[in-house]
Amino acid sequence: MPYRASWLFFWFAFIVPASAAEHVLSVVDHPGAHAMKPVIRSAYQELGLTVRFEPMPIGRRLLALQNGTTDGDVLARSNLQDKYSQVLRVGPPITQVDVLLVCPADVRCDSSVLLSGEATVVIDRGSAMLLQEGLALALPERHEYIESPPLRTSLFNRHRINYFVYFKGNGIGGYTVTRAHKKHLIGSHQFYHYINKRHASLAEPLSAALTRALTRPPSGQMATQ
CATH of residue 21: 3.40.190.10
**Alpha carbon 145 to its chain's center:** 18
Range of the domain at 61: 2-95+191-213
Asked whether residue 125 falls in the same domain as residue 145, the answer is yes
Residues of the chain with pLDDT > 70, as a percent, come to 84
Flag whether 225 is in a domain.
no
Asked whether residue 170 falls in the same domain as residue 199, the answer is no
Whether residue 175 is predicted with pLDDT greater than 50 in this model: the reply is: yes
Q: Residue 182's beta-bridge partner residues?
A: 103
Asked whether residue 119 falls in the same domain as residue 47, the answer is no
pLDDT for residue 158: 97
Count of Cβ atoms closer than 10 Å to residue 217 Cβ:
15
pLDDT band, residue 15 (cuts 50/70/90) = very low
Asked whether residue 82 falls in the same domain as residue 110, the answer is no
Whether residue 166 is predicted with pLDDT greater than 90 in this model: the reply is: no
Flag whether 179 is in a domain.
yes
Asked whether residue 180 falls in the same domain as residue 145, the answer is yes
Which has the closest alpha carbon to 51: 70, 67, 68? 70
Domain count within the chain:
2
Give the CA distances from residue 71 to residues 78, 110, 214, in Å, rounded to whole numbers and listed in that order: 18, 40, 21
The answer to whether 193 and 73 have CB atoms below 8 angstroms apart is: yes
Q: What mean pLDDT comes out for the span 136-158?
A: 92
Asked whether residue 76 falls in the same domain as residue 12, the answer is yes
0.85 exceeded by pTM: no
The pLDDT tens digits of the residues spanning 32-62 come to 788 899 999 999 999 999 999 999 988 899 9
Asked whether residue 82 falls in the same domain as residue 119, the answer is no
